[in-house]
C-alpha cells in the first residue's frame, strides 16, 4: 500500500459528516467526538445509540437521505450506509468537492482510511494492514500492550513542558511483580531514585541516558537522609524531568511515600502514586503462608519491627489475639523483644512464627519457631535483613512447617520461587 500517506488530522471544531445510521456508522462517531469534531449525522433511520447522542446534544442528526449540500463546509466525510449506490454517490460528490472521504463500503474507492489506533497517555500509534481491519486490530492491540508494559522506548527526546514525579511501588525483589504502570513510567523516566529492596533488575533495562540515583538504606546505615531524598525529587522535578521514585513494596506501607508526596506537592509538582505489592503479604506468600485463611485467621495487622513493642505497648492495643495474624516488617533486630511483647499482650508462647528472609530474592528461606523460641532459632540460623516476621496459626499452613516442628532446627530453604511453589489445597 505505497499509495497511502499516513497523517494525523486535527478535526477539533471542524465539521465531519457521517452518512448512515447503522452499526458501522455508530462505531465511527465516538472516535470523532473524542477528537473534538463537530459531527453531523445524516440517516433516514438512525440507530438508538446515534439517537441518544443527538438527544444529549453531542451530534447533530438529520433524519433523511443524503443530499450533496450536506458536504458544504465539511472537512471530512464518512459514508457507511450499507447501500452501495448511496456510498458511491457520497464518495463521488466528496471527490468532486475535494473533501476527504472514508468509504466503509469500498476501501478502494475511499480517499481516506481510518487505521486501528492505540492510545497510551500522550502516545498515539495508528496501524493499517492492507485493507484487513481485523489484522490491523490485532496489531493495534499488540502495540497497545507493549506500550502499557513499557516494552517500547517511551522516553522523550525533547524537553518536557513541566516536570513530574511518580512514586512507584516496586514490590519485592522480583521484577515480575512490578505493575505494568510502574514499568511504563520507568520506560519514560529521565531520573530514577531507587531503594535497596526494590526490583533492581529492571534498572538494567533503562535507557543509558537515564540518571539512576541510589539512596538505598541498610540497617543502621542511612547514607541519604529522607530530607535529602525529598530534595532530590523536587530538584529534578523542577528541572522539567520525569522522576520515578522506585521503592520496594508499596510507597504507603512503611515506605515514607506520604512524606515524599507532601514535599513534591509543596514545591508545586505534579505527583503520581503507583501502588506496589507490599512485602507484608507477598513475602509470606512466597513460602506458602497466607496472611488470612478461612477458619484460621479472619484478619491481619502490619506493624514495623523497628519500634520496641515492649516500650510502646499501645502499638498492640486493639490488635485481636484470636484468629488474627500479625506481620512485622523490619523486625529482625528487635525480634526477641517483639516476641516478648506479643506474649505479654495475650498470645500463647506456643504461637507459631515464621521469619522469611529475602522474599523472592536469591537467598530466600524461612525460619520457623514459636514466640517462645523463634529469636533463638533465628540467631542460630544466622537470619539477617531483609526479612518479614509472620505470627499466627497461618504459619502452620506453610509447606516447611511440619519439618520445622519435628527436626529441632526450625530452619529450612523453603519452597521454590513463586512460579513453581506448590501451595496447600
The one catalytic residue in 70, 174, 190, 195 is 195
Outline where 98-248 has alpha helix (H): 133-149, 180-188, 226-238
Pairing mode, strands 324-329 and 387-391:
antiparallel
Rounded distance between C-alpha atoms, residue 118 and residue 132, angstroms = 17
Sequence-distant (6+) residues with CB within 8 A of 317 are none
- Residue among 107, 101, 99, 111 nearest 129 (CA): 107
Any catalytic annotation for residue 228?
no
Rounded distance between C-alpha atoms, residue 269 and residue 238, angstroms = 7
Burial 14-36 (b: 16+ CB within 10 A, else e): ebbbbbbbbebbbebbeebeeee
Rounded distance between C-alpha atoms, residue 159 and residue 355, angstroms = 47
Cβ-in-10-Å burial (0-12, 13-18, 19+) of 206 comes to middle
The one catalytic residue in 151, 217, 373, 393 is 217
Q: CA distances (Å), 382 to each of 148, 173, 287, 332, in order?
A: 42, 21, 18, 11
Rounded distance between C-alpha atoms, residue 332 and residue 335, angstroms = 5
Rounded distance between C-alpha atoms, residue 169 and residue 184, angstroms = 13
Sequence-distant (6+) residues with CB within 8 A of 215 are 193, 194, 195, 223, 224, 228, 229, 232
Any catalytic annotation for residue 195?
yes
Sequence-distant (6+) residues with CB within 8 A of 420 are none
Pairing mode, strands 270-274 and 164-169:
parallel
What residues act catalytically? 195, 217
Amino acid at each position: 500500500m505505497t499509495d497511502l500517506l499516513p497523517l494525523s488530522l486535527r478535526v477539533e471544531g471542524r465539521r465531519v459528516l457521517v452518512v448512515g445510521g447503522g452499526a458501522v456508522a455508530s462505531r465511527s462517531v465516538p472516535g470523532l467526538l473524542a477528537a473534538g469534531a463537530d459531527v453531523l449525522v445524516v440517516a433516514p433511520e438512525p440507530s438508538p445509540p446515534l439517537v441518544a447522542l443527538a438527544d444529549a446534544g453531542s451530534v447533530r442528526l438529520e433524519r433523511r437521505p443524503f443530499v450533496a449540500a450536506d458536504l458544504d463546509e465539511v472537512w471530512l466525510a464518512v459514508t457507511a450506509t450499507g447501500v452501495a449506490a448511496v456510498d458511491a454517490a457520497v464518495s463521488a460528490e466528496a471527490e468532486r468537492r475535494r473533501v476527504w472521504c472514508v468509504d466503509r463500503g469500498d476501501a478502494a474507492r475511499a480517499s481516506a482510511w481510518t487505521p486501528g489506533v492505540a492510545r497510551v497517555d500522550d502516545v498515539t500509534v495508528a496501524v493499517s494492514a492492507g485493507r484487513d481491519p481485523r489484522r490491523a486490530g490485532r496489531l493495534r492491540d499488540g502495540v497497545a500492550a507493549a506500550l502499557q508494559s513499557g516494552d517500547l522506548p517511551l522516553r522523550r527526546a525533547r524537553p518536557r513542558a513541566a516536570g513530574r514525579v511518580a512514586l512507584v511501588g516496586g514490590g519485592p525483589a522480583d521484577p515480575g511483580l512490578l505493575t505494568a504502570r510502574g514499568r511504563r513510567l520507568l520506560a519514560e523516566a529521565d531520573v530514577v531514585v531507587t531503594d535497596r529492596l526494590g526490583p533492581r533488575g529492571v534498572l538494567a533495562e533503562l535507557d543509558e541516558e537515564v540518571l539512576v540515583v541510589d539512596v538505598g538504606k541498610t540497617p543502621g546505615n542511612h547514607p541519604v537522609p529522607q530530607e535529602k531524598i525529598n530534595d532530590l525529587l523536587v530538584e529534578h522535578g523542577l528541572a522539567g524531568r520525569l522522576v520515578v521514585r522506585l521503592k520496594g513494596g508499596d510507597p504507603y506501607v512503611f515506605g515514607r511515600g506520604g512524606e515524599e508526596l507532601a514535599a513534591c506537592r509543596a514545591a508545586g509538582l505534579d505527583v503520581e502514586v503507583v501502588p506496589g505489592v507490599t512485602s507484608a503479604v507477598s513475602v509470606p506468600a512466597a513460602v506458602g503462608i497466607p496472611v488470612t485463611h478461612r477458619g484460621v485467621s479472619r484478619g491481619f495487622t502490619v506493624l514495623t519491627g523497628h519500634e520496641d513493642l515492649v516500650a510502646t505497648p499501645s502499638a498492640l492495643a486493639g490488635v485481636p489475639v484470636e484468629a488474627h495474624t500479625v506481620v512485622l516488617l523490619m523486625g529482625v533486630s528487635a525480634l526477641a523483644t517483639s516476641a516478648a511483647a506479643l506474649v505479654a499482650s495475650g498470645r500463647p508462647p506456643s504461637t507459631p512464627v515464621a521469619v522469611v528472609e529475602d522474599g523472592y530474592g536469591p537467598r530466600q528461606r524461612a525460619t520457623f519457631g514459636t514466640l517462645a523460641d523463634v529469636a533463638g532459632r533465628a540467631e542460630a540460623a544466622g537470619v539477617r535483613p531483609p526479612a518479614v516476621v509472620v505470627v499466627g496459626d497461618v504459619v502452620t499452613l506453610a509447606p516447611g512447617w511440619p519439618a520445622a516442628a519435628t527436626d529441632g532446627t526450625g530452619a529450612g530453604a523453603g519452597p521454590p520461587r513463586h512460579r513453581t511453589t506448590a501451595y496447600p489445597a
